Amino acid sequence: MINLKINDKPLSVEEGTTILQAARKFKIDIPSLCYTPLHLVSAHNMLASCRVCVVEVKGRRNLAPACTTMCAEGMEVFTATQRVINARRTVLELLLSDHPMDCPTCPKNMHCKLQDLAERMGIRNVTYKGETSRKNEYSSNDYPIRLNPAKCILCSTCVKICNEIQTCGVLRETKRGFHTQVGAEFGIDLSLTNCVSCGQCINVCPTGAISQSSEVDKVWKALANPRKHVVCQVAPSVRAALGEEFGYNVGTSVTQKIPTAARVIGFEKCYDTNFGADLTIMEEANELVERLTKGGKLPMITSCCPGWINFIEKNYPDMLDLPSTCKSPMSMQGSMIKNYLAEKMGWNPDDVVVVSIMPCTAKKSEIKRSQLAHCGYSDDDYVLTTRDFAQMIRETGVNFDTLDSSRFDDPMGESTGGADIFGNSGGVMEAALRNAKYVLEGKAGELEIPGIRGTTGIKTDVVEIAGHKIRLCAVSGLGNARKILEEIRSGKAKYDFIEVMACPGGCVNGGGQPYEASKQSVTVVKARQQVLYNEDKGKIHRISAENESIQALYRDFLEKPGSEKAEQYLHTHYEDQSLPQNKFKI
């Protein structure tokens, strides 16, 4: 233990504790900006670049950044002397002097650490005014991730996430000095880079420098058109986090408020993407059984996550035979709405608008894939993130708290517990195995696989189904996916079934989830996961094959999993999207 004094208060902390950690532990808050703990991925962004958290250390010539300075025996720290306050204020004013200050229209308005700090420090006037370094301008609106370097405070947390955690290597500091900015190399558009649009950079960005594209305006326009049948589908993870946007505690389920809210907004129908998830399981479990029993290509890797699909297409084009050919639940459901349900409902498919409410930014790129269209109709039309959806709800003026409970619309409103857990890392795999066991053994059997639950990046387990020992690996975070792919390539890893989700912890921690609690916190992600596990537990049916609406869909239209029609509407293929420069890599 190390003994020190902060503001004359004697404290004891463990060795290796920073001044900032020590102070916060003892309820002395030192304002900080660029320091970002990333507990979920066992990392910290602590470059000490913003210099907001400076404190006075007795005997030291200059002020010390509390975020990186380690506590030492006998140290005397002062966190609020005039010298400290003046320095902190000046540094903050300097940051503000090079900031656009258009808070009311900023995509991160009210979710901005810089704004919070300016308020906390009571900055009403910026002494040092002058030239601004970068243009206040967002990059192309079409791409899910939007950069506005003018709002960047150069904390480089996104750089860390993009390079070290997701290993996509897209975001970097470019240029020098006053003109330093974060972006892709040579300032090229993100769509031309290795970016997979996972959106983790958006979640960790403390300001409005990285945000998502928004199709809210287009959705309002479609809703205003009386000719259109605007329907929505809502992904499982949305219900585990939407409440946070309305002041509910993290880990509160708001499943039953969602359909009511959707109807208030004006959606004609509100379907549950869980239905699509059950459908995915029917197809994916079938594919797994086929590959296992008929000597198909193994390991089979799940394909629900668009960030992951972008990643493998861009980085491992030689391994595109590994992912399952199943479309994602969103695309399966969109396809079924347009190609099956529309006719049943008597809608002209031309007038059907499918709006998918997702925890994800990569979904915005998924709907643009040419593979995911039939007869000129793309499976889905618009993707709204959980944040977008919350914003629309707020815009209606409805009091979320007083919304009645209601059910999703049939016939795509029924779902099993297997579908619920799709939002959690390990969940897709668990659901698929439940179904595979059901198909192969004809009975429900053990319903939970604890070994692949939780927030760890790489989880492995083995299950035995009908005499097949299936070696499992559930991966979340693309850096971990890269590790596993490299091991597969080198022959070191021997797995039969792998699940990959791009975002650490799974979709519940997706790039489109509420900002407030998304800073890679283990507690938050675990609480959101728990919501979905609870939903699963509460369901009468927990195996996708038991979903009666799914059974009806197969009776009516698809015949059986893997049928010709299923292949046509529910399966897809992957294409080499690697960048020219990646081809030269060894």
Partner 1 sequence: MAKILEKLKTREDFMAFCRANSHRLDRRKGKEDGKHTIAVCSSSGCHASGSESVYDMFKAEIEKQGAQDLIDLDINGCFGFCEKGPICKVYPEDTFYIQVKPEDAAEIVKSIVEKSKPVEKNLYTNPATGEKIANQEEIPFYKKQKRIALRNCGLVNPTSLGDYLANGGFKGFLRVLFDLTPEEAIEEMKEAGLRGRGGAGFPTYLKWDICRKSPGETKYLICNADEGDPGAFMDRSIMEGDPYSVVEGMMSAAKIIGANHGVVYIRAEYPLAVERLSSAIEELKKVGLLGKNILGSPFSFDIEIKYGAGAFVCGEETALIKSAEGDRGEPTVKPPFPAQKGLFGKPSNVNNVETFANVPYIYGHGPEAFNKIGSEKSKGTKVFALAGKVNNVGLVEVPMGTSLREIIYDIGGGIKNGKEFKAVQTGGPSGGCIPSSLIDTPIDYEHLSAIGSMMGSGGMIVMDEDNCMVAIAKFYLTFTVDESCGKCTPCRVGNKRLLEILTKIVEGNGTEEDLEDLENLSLVIEDTALCGLGQSSPNPVLSTLRYFRDEYEAHVNQKICPSHECKALAKYAIDPAKCIGCTKCARNCPVNAIHPTDKPAKNPKLFIHKIDEATCIKCGTCANNCPVKAISL
Is residue 30 within 8 A of residue 53, CB to CB? The reply is yes
Is residue 520 within 8 A of residue 511, CB to CB? The reply is no
Least separation in angstroms between residue 51's CB and partner 1 is: 5
Beta carbon nearer to partner 1, 145 or 155 = 155
Beta carbon nearer to partner 1, 127 or 396 = 127
d(CA 355, CA 365): 14
Least separation in angstroms between residue 30's CB and partner 1 is: 14
Tokens coding 311: 């990643």
Beta bridge partners of 468: 465
Least separation in angstroms between residue 295's CB and partner 1 is: 46
Least separation in angstroms between residue 478's CB and partner 1 is: 21
Beta carbon nearer to partner 1, 188 or 224 = 188
Least separation in angstroms between residue 173's CB and partner 1 is: 6
d(CA 308, CA 446): 29
Beta carbon nearer to partner 1, 42 or 81 = 81
Q: Which residues bind partner 1 (CB under 8 A)?
A: 47-52, 54, 62-63, 65, 68, 70, 83, 86-87, 90-91, 94-95, 97-98, 127-128, 130-131, 133, 153-154, 172-173, 175-180
Least separation in angstroms between residue 520's CB and partner 1 is: 22
Tokens coding 208: 């409005």
Half-sphere exposure of 84 (CA within 13 A, CB side): 19
Is residue 277 within 8 A of residue 539, CB to CB? The reply is no
Q: Burial-class residue 97 by CB neighbours within 10 Å (0-12, 13-18, 19+).
A: middle
Beta carbon nearer to partner 1, 23 or 270 = 23
Least separation in angstroms between residue 146's CB and partner 1 is: 22
Beta carbon nearer to partner 1, 186 or 573 = 186
For 507-545, what is the HEC assignment?
Answer: HHHCCCCCCCCCCCCHHHHHHHHHHHHHHHHHCCCCCHH
Is residue 490 within 8 A of residue 218, CB to CB? The reply is no
Beta carbon nearer to partner 1, 168 or 428 = 168
Beta carbon nearer to partner 1, 48 or 123 = 48
Q: Return all residues near 179 (Cβ < 8 A) that are at least 6 apart.
A: 133, 134
Is residue 183 within 8 A of residue 303, CB to CB? The reply is no
Is residue 273 within 8 A of residue 545, CB to CB? The reply is no
Least separation in angstroms between residue 87's CB and partner 1 is: 5
